[in-house]
Structure formats: structure tokens, C-alpha cells
Structure 1
Amino acid sequence: MLLNSSPHPTNPDCGIPVGIVRRPTTHFVKTIAITLIILLFSTACKKDSPQSGVTTTTQTETITGSGTASTNAEANPPKKTSEPTTLATPTQPPTTTLSKATITLWHSYREEEQAALEQLVAAYNAQGGPVTVEAVPVPYDAFVDKISVTVPRGKGPDLFIFAHNLIGEWASTGVIEPITPWAPPELLKQFIPSTVKALVYEKSLYGLPLAFKSIVLFYNRQITPNPPQTMAEMILAAKAATHPEQGRYGLVVEAAKLYFHAPWLFGYGGSLFDDSESPKVDTQESIAAMQFARRLVRDEGIVPPGLTGFMVASIFSEGKAAFALSGPWFRGEIGKDIDYGVATIPTLDNGAPPKPFLGSEAILLSKMSANKPEAMDFAKFLSSDSSALIRAKVGKQPVANISVYEHPDVQADPMMAVFKAQAQNAVIMPASPAMQAMWSTYDAALQKTLFGDTEPSQALADAQTKITADVSRLRR
């Protein structure tokens, strides 16, 4: 930890300064004088200047939230350099003695991710300490509502796992607790910096990062042996694989969701907010992105309408889709008999790389938990390097821990390298409360354009009006 403290300026060696002239006098006077001088400078040595704040030193890595990293990203372990992230000074140091308690953890993991989490919970409980953890799976579609309703009433979990994009709203409404007191700089150094940065809201840290997630291109090798390098190649292969009468499609994706539309939106230079953080969704670049998405659905006919996440997984697992756009969680949902690969999303027709959202998935602390120190003990365990290795190997997660990518087993997983490469061309999801006014309205605009008759320019103009009004009311 870097503190704004230093030795007294006049005694850098904590000794009596050179140059003091002692005048001849009696033995008694000399003794008194020397004693006073020693006491004076001994006292000065013990003084520290006031601490004005705490600066955590994290490590810079090629995965950033700006989306400006090189398109030729490699999957080598992150390079370590220093980049300061300033957090608010902790005012209540955490308790070091743990009490006997049962901690409830909510999550929406499935398949391999759930298996890895349950393995780690069992390992933690087997240590025989005073804290026991109970992991409770909650369906993803109901997760946000359950947290928002139960936690303020004191009936929710102590800890829960979710992406960072709601921390602004949850912090503002008293759902989550800042964990800055439990997160010294030495702890944060183990994580990829962008995963920590995403969890900072108004100079307080809300959660410890577990994984970073963005969508990539999954392809069925039995239909398309090699991944396409350009969007033109992908569309050509997808059209050849599309036979709606047989229930076969070129590309399966939740096309009318902003989260899955983001690669086109940011790839074409579109935006959600301007430099002043005001909503700005009706730019020409955003219109071009929506026109491209509409082309995939209506003109090329390679994307079926009305897909949910479950339907995307089912169609791809049945071998009835050449391509799918999804995230690392998708690996655990694909049928075991499907020969598939993953690749970064192909270059757009404007020559730019698509830029999906980058999410920092974290373990968050409930504001209403009666056992915060005990809960944070498990949070540190789950986010540690040793636990992250299990989550990477068993759960197939692109974990936030830097050292894990130096492990031979992780380096041997070519898919993990793809997720890291795609993350270098990704945009951190905004976590401000204003972003929550964006999702449903933008989704509605996509639905009206992709599967309705509304032109992209009109749909986005209508969305701009509604989102602006909603954000204005939110900020009053």
C-alpha cells in the first residue's frame, strides 16, 4: 500500500543532524542539553504525516475496457506493469476474528460452472472453520428481481455472484456493501486490472472479480470446418447452412437483445452515451449497426426470430446451426457429441473488429448481511488464485486472476486463449444507474426493427426520446 507518509524532513536518518555545535559548559548543563536534543529528534522520528487517502497499485494488462487494444491480440499471460487505481480511504477496518456463521450464496451458474462452484464450496466447508457456506442456485431470468426485492428487506443472501453492470444501481439503493476495507492493494494485484476497475463506483470497490465475460463466435466443425475471418465469409457459410423448413439455421443469437447487439453497435462506431454521460443512441453509426443486424435477419435470412438463450443452446446442441454468438458459459451447455470450435467474431465489412460488451463477473456483498467479515472470508477464498484455477479447469471460466494463465493446463486450452483475445476488443458495460434505463428500451427498438416494420432511424429516434426522459427522471 502506498501511503502519503514520510520521515520528518529534517531527520532523514532518524539521528541528530550533523552540524550541531556544542559549546563548552558544565557537565550538568551539557548532560541536560544533550538529553533534550535526543528527546526532540527521537520524537520527530516517530511522526508520520497525515494519511490523505489510499492508492492501490494494480497491474496493467492488455485486456482493457476502452476497446482500443490491438486486433492481433495474443493469448499469452498478461504483462505486468503498474497502474494506480484510487479508492476511498477505508473508515472501518474489517474484523479479523471470525464468528460461527452460515453464509448464504446465490448464483445462477449451470452445468460446468455450477460444478466448479460446488466443488469449491465443499472444499471451504471441509476446512472445519467457524464459517459454513450454503450455495443456492437461482434462475438467471429471475435473479435481478429477487435480489432487488429480498435484500432491502433483509431476507436475501449474504453474498451473490453477478456481472458488474448493476453495481451503480445496487450501490445507490443500498443493496450492496463497499468491500474496500477488506480489499488491500496486495489482494487486488492478483487480478486483471480491468476486472477490478469495472467494480469501482464513486471511488468505492464493490466486489471481488471472478471472471471476465464477452461473447465470441461458436462454430460447428461438422458444418464449417474452419472459422470465417471476415463477416462476408461468415454470411456466405451461414446462408449455405440455412434451411428453415428443416429447422436449420446459419446463425443463432438473441438478436433483439442489446447485449448481443453490442458487437455491431460498437464495431460500427455507435454509442450509448455522449462525453457528458447523456444518452446518445440515435447517431448515424448506431443506425448503420442496426441496419446491419436487420440485414442478417431479413435480407440474408440466416437468423431466426424469437430466440431465447435456451433455444440458442438447444438448436446448436442438436447440430442444427452453423454458428452461434454466446459467451464462455455456453461451453457447458453444448451437447457432448457436437464437434465445435470458438473464434473471435469476424471483421465487419467496414474493416473494423466487432466489439462486444466486457463484463466483470464478481462476488458481491449484501448491504444487509449480518455476517460481513465471515462472508468476505469466503469471497476471498473463492477469488483466490488456487480457487480460480479450479474455476478455469472445471468451470471453463476465463478467470480474472493473472497467474492462472501461466498454468500449463490453462495454456493448453485453445478456447481460453480466444476469450482473452476477444476481450481485447471489447467495451466494459456501463455500470451507472442511467444504464438501467437503456436495456429494455433498446431491446424494444431492436425488436421493432429486426422483426417488425420500423426503420432503424425511427426506432432509434423513438428510443432516444424515451431513454432521455427516463434518465432525466432518474437523476432528479
Structure 2
Amino acid sequence: MDRRSVLKGIGGTAAVTALAGCLGTGLFEGDDPEVLWHEFQDAEAEQFSDFLRTFNEETEHDLGSNSVTDMEEQLETALPAGTGPVGFTWAHDWIGYYHDEEYLYDATDDIEIDLKETYSEVAAEAVQWEGNVYGLPYAAETVTLMYNGEMVEEPPETVSEMVEIMETHHDPDSGTYGLAYPPIDTYHMSAWLQAFGGHILDEETGELGVDSDAVIEGAELIEQSFYPYVPSASEASAHETTFGDGNAAFTINGPWMVGEYDDMDLGVAPLPAPDGGEPTPFTGIPMWYFTTQGEEADEETLESVIEFAEWYTTDDDVITTNADNGMIPIHNDYVGDDDLGETVGAFSETVDMGTPMPADAKMDSVWAPMEDALSQLFAGDESAADALEGAADEIRGSWE
């Protein structure tokens, strides 16, 4: 039984008890749920609190929010049990599965914003599924190259140049590394897995490509050019700390980490190109989702959550502040604005290289087998071809 099935099996009172145990006693304020959920990091969480306070003051609403960990697990415990948020923020790629599970509220008739006139075409399409509008977008994001300015003078333009710099600084016995980079995270590794023309999942055709020659070539690039220079830990938090402490020349991460590295000489650059390929990372459209809890909430609560999403995704201060933290604006008034700084420019270049994460529910069965395959590759237990072919068999088996 997979993780989703286990969570769905909790149900009812047990689900509410489990949720309270995970989130603590601060989930409810009187009889009113904290209707907005997010999983922002520390710096982003503080900024979001300021935004929400501003919105409440300007509109005389009293929306509450809750910072949760393991958003996916919390939602899949809460929503089937009839609890949880009216709105939450995450990238667009959950929309297909959550639509199929009937977790989402169709706000087509409630929103006052014209999607096409307000947001970029990609962003406007990302928040819709089968013609229904299930949220509003506020940025584009992906992972890109970050470097420690005390170790790296100029960012590399090619993977070969990056390898030369990593070799210079990689000395595990002294606690320094060429690269701090979660080694088994498919999202973080997608740029290289898809660098030679392959697709992990082709959303247009629905075909799985993880065992294609092109994706195997990308996995071999990871094995040969990146894995030798990373710490042995597999947890993302360990790599984030290693880089943040100044003990690695490079990391590859997303805009949500920019604010966490304020105390170091941080540089941000587009992803370097491998020989014979182009980095093609997954890109995401962060959005405020509307859930079926809106149907259960009082009308004022639902309206205030939708109004908040409209405000958050169009407010000048929110857009420019998020841009300062590397989130690429998708509001048409700000798309391509050269005045937003070098960090935004670097992320924007990498976003342009990428491909949207598949929102097809079939993608849900891809992540865990791919993580296992990358883990086997990182440990040296399997060749790239064997690991990915095993993952493909498992994924296709789950689809049958």
C-alpha cells in the first residue's frame, strides 16, 4: 500500500487526532480554523505574516494562517476528513491529482480577475484543469545554481567548468565540498535527467520516459559530474546547512532558500550547460489553491480567501518583494522587468530553460520510484540504466 492509501485509510476522528498531533494545538483559534496553510521557510514565513497582516488591515478581514510541515501528508489527512484549509499554497503540479480526488473548489464564477489579461499564459493555464479555475498564481520558480562568493569568483557557464571549480574546493577530510545538493531528489535533479532531450513524463502523450536513452544519459551525467562532490547525507536539510555554513562552493536550489543565505556572500546564476545538452529543469507555478473546505465554510470566509488570493497575486509590494527573493513574476505588468535585479534575472533565465512539472495525476506514481533509483545510483548499487529501468517497471506497474 502506498503512502497516499495509508493516509486515506486513517479517516474520520483518527485523521483529526493525527492532524492535531502533527500540527500542535495552534491549528484552531476559537471556533474558526486558520484557513490559509503554507510551508514557507523562516524568512519567507515572516514576510508572509506581514503580507497577511497588511491584507487584514486594508480589508478589515481577520484571516488566520498556519505554517505546516509535510504539506502533502497534512492535506491528505485533513481534507478527506472534512478539516483543513480553505486555501493553501503550493506549486501547480498537484492540481490534476487533487481535482481527481475532489479536493478542490472551482472558483470560476467567484473570481473577479481576468486570468489572461492579468497573468502570463503559462501561469493562467497552470491554475486551470478541465476548464475549471482552482486557484490563482503568483510566481514562477525552479532551482538554479547558487555559489559561495568566498570560494567562487565567477559562476561557470558549463558543467565542465563547474567540475574544475568543485575539484579545487572538495576536501571532505577538512569538511568542505564542491557541491551541496540533495542527491536523490528528482525535482532538483530534473535539469540533468532531461538535459539530452528526454522527458521524465511527457504530459502531452502520457508516455513515461525515465528509461529512455536520453534520460539514462542524464543520470550518467549526474553520477559522473555531481555525485562525486556532494556530502554523503541524503537529506536536503543537511545540504542546505552545509552550503549555508560556507562549507561548499555550490548548491542548486530554489528561490525559497535565497532569504536563508542572507548572511553569506551568495551568488545566483543560470544553470551551466553540459557538453552536448541543455539543462531542462522542472519549473513550477506557485499558486493559492482553493479547497472543498470553502464549500463547508461560511460564505464570508470563502469570499475573504478568494479576495486574499486576488490581492496577493496582484499587489505591487507582494510581487516585488517576492521577486527580491528570486520568485519570477508572472503578472503581466512585471514579466521581463529588468529592474527587478540580478537574482531574479538568473532564476528567470533558468525558468526559460525549463519545462513545467507535469500536473497529470500519473506523475504522483513517479516520484518515489525515481527517488529509489537515484538513491541506488548515489550509493553505487546500480548502474544508471538498471536503476531507471527498475523504476520504470515499478511506475508502469502502478499505472495498470
Q: TM-score range by the shorter chain?
A: 0.7 to 0.9
Distance 1:128 1:278, change over 3 A: closer
**d(CA) in 2 for partners of 1:393 and 1:166?**
23
**d(CA) in 2 for partners of 1:136 and 1:146?**
12
Is 1:161 the counterpart of 2:92? The answer is no
Q: 2:391 aligns with which of 436, 439, 463?
A: 463
Aligned to 1:134: 64
C-alpha distance after superposition, 1:360-386 (max 9, x if no partner): 000011112214223211111111132
**d(CA) in 2 for partners of 1:128 and 1:270?**
48
C-alpha distance after superposition, 1:171-193 (max 9, x if no partner): 11111112222345635422122
**d(CA) in 2 for partners of 1:227 and 1:121?**
37
Q: Which moved more, 1:383-392 or 1:326-335?
A: 383-392
**d(CA) in 1 for partners of 2:59 and 2:253?**
39
Q: 1:343 aligns with which of 269, 276, 279?
A: 269
Residue ranges of structure 1 left out of the alignment (5+ in a row): 1-100
Aligned to 1:144: 72
Aligned to 1:46: none
Q: Which moved more, 1:158-167 or 1:183-192?
A: 183-192
2:326/2:343 contact within 8 Å kept: no
Q: Which moved more, 1:441-450 or 1:192-201?
A: 192-201
Letter paired with 2:292: K
Is 1:353 the counterpart of 2:282? The answer is no
C-alpha distance after superposition, 1:49-106 (max 9, x if no partner): xxxxxxxxxxxxxxxxxxxxxxxxxxxxxxxxxxxxxxxxxxxxxxxxxxxx876110
Is 1:250 the counterpart of 2:178? The answer is yes
C-alpha distance after superposition, 1:138-195 (max 9, x if no partner): 12xx110101110122210111011111111111111111222234563542212212
Aligned to 1:447: 375
Aligned to 1:296: 225
Letter paired with 2:49: E
What is the deviation of 1:418?
A: 1.0
C-alpha distance after superposition, 1:116-147 (max 9, x if no partner): 21111111111353x311121112xx110101
What is the deviation of 1:394?
A: 6.2
What is the deviation of 1:273?
A: 3.0
What is the deviation of 1:423?
A: 0.7
2:201/2:210 contact within 8 Å kept: yes
Aligned to 2:138, what secondary structure does the other structure show? Answer: strand
Question: Which is helix-richer, 1 or 2?
Answer: 2
1:305/1:451 contact within 8 Å kept: no
What is the deviation of 1:280?
A: 2.8
What is the deviation of 1:450?
A: 1.9
**d(CA) in 1 for partners of 2:345 and 2:262?**
22
**d(CA) in 1 for partners of 2:349 and 2:226?**
27
2:159/2:274 contact within 8 Å kept: yes
1:317/1:335 contact within 8 Å kept: no
Aligned to 1:63: none
What is the deviation of 1:315?
A: 0.9
**d(CA) in 2 for partners of 1:427 and 1:412?**
23
Is 1:282 the counterpart of 2:282? The answer is no
Distance 1:454 1:180, change over 3 A: same
Letter paired with 2:236: G
Aligned to 1:322: 249
> How many positions carry a matched residue from both structures?
363
Aligned to 1:415: 343
TM-score by length of 2: 0.86
What is the identity percentage for the equivalent residue pairs of Structure 1 and Structure 2? 24
What is the deviation of 1:456?
A: 1.2
1:113/1:397 contact within 8 Å kept: no
Aligned to 2:236: 309
Aligned 1:197-236 pairs, distance under 5 A: 197-236=125-164
What is the deviation of 1:215?
A: 0.7
Over the residues paired in the alignment, what is the CA RMSD in angstroms? 2.0
**d(CA) in 2 for partners of 1:443 and 1:102?**
35
C-alpha distance after superposition, 1:408-433 (max 9, x if no partner): xx715211111111111101000111
What is the deviation of 1:263?
A: 0.5
What is the deviation of 1:304?
A: 2.2
Letter paired with 2:53: A
**d(CA) in 2 for partners of 1:317 and 1:325?**
12
What is the deviation of 1:285?
A: 0.7
Letter paired with 2:68: V
Aligned to 1:379: 309
Aligned to 2:47, what secondary structure does the other structure show? Answer: helix
Is 1:104 the counterpart of 2:104? The answer is no
Letter paired with 1:345: L
